[in-house]
Amino acid sequence: MEQKQALFNYLLRLGDNAAILGHRLSEWCGHGPELEEDIAIINTALDLLGHARSLYTYAGEVEGKGRDEDDIAYLRIEREYRNALICELPNGHYGDTIARQFLFDQFNYLLFSELVNSTDETVAAIAAKAIKEIRYHLRRSTEWTLRLGDGTEESHNRVQQSFHDVWMYTGDLFVQDESDKAVIEAGIGPDLTLLYPVWQDKVKEVLKEATLEMPENGWMQSGSKQGRHTEHFGYILSELQYMQRAYPGCEW
Partner 1 sequence: MERKDWPLWEVFVRSKAGLSHKHAGSLHAPDAEMAISNARDVYTRRNEGVSIWVVESKYIHSTQESDVESMFDPNEDKIYRHPTFYDIPDEVGHM
Pick the binder of partner 1 from 31, 93, 129, 139 (CB under 8 A). 139
Pick the binder of partner 1 from 67, 76, 135, 147 (CB under 8 A). 147
- When the beta carbons of 42 and 72 are compared against partner 1, the nearer one is 42
Pick the binder of partner 1 from 13, 24, 53, 140 (CB under 8 A). 140
- Count of Cβ atoms closer than 10 Å to residue 197 Cβ: 9
* Distance in Å, CB of 55 to partner 1, minimum: 22
Burial 125-164 (b: 16+ CB within 10 A, else e): ebbeebbebbebbbebbbebbbebbebeeebbebbbebbe
Binding pattern for the stretch 24-43 against partner 1, x by CB under 8 A and - elsewhere: ----------xxxx-xx--x
# of chain residues touching partner 1 (CB under 8 A): 13
**Distance of alpha carbon 127 from alpha carbon 51, whole angstroms:** 9
Q: By CB neighbour count within 10 A (0-12 exposed, 13-18 middle, 19+ buried), where does 34 fall? A: exposed
**Distance of alpha carbon 97 from alpha carbon 145, whole angstroms:** 10
- When the beta carbons of 136 and 196 are compared against partner 1, the nearer one is 136
- When the beta carbons of 45 and 86 are compared against partner 1, the nearer one is 45
Q: Which candidate, 201, 195, 199, 240, places its Cα nearest to that of 83?
A: 240
* Distance in Å, CB of 37 to partner 1, minimum: 8
CB of 49 closer than 8 Å to CB of 22: yes
Binding pattern for the stretch 39-78 against partner 1, x by CB under 8 A and - elsewhere: xx--x-----------------------------------
Asked if 23 is part of the footprint of partner 1 (rule: CB under 8 A), the reply reads no
* Distance in Å, CB of 150 to partner 1, minimum: 12
Cα distance between the two ends of the chain: 40
Chain residues in the site for partner 1 (CB under 8 A): 34-37, 39-40, 43, 136, 139-140, 143, 147, 154
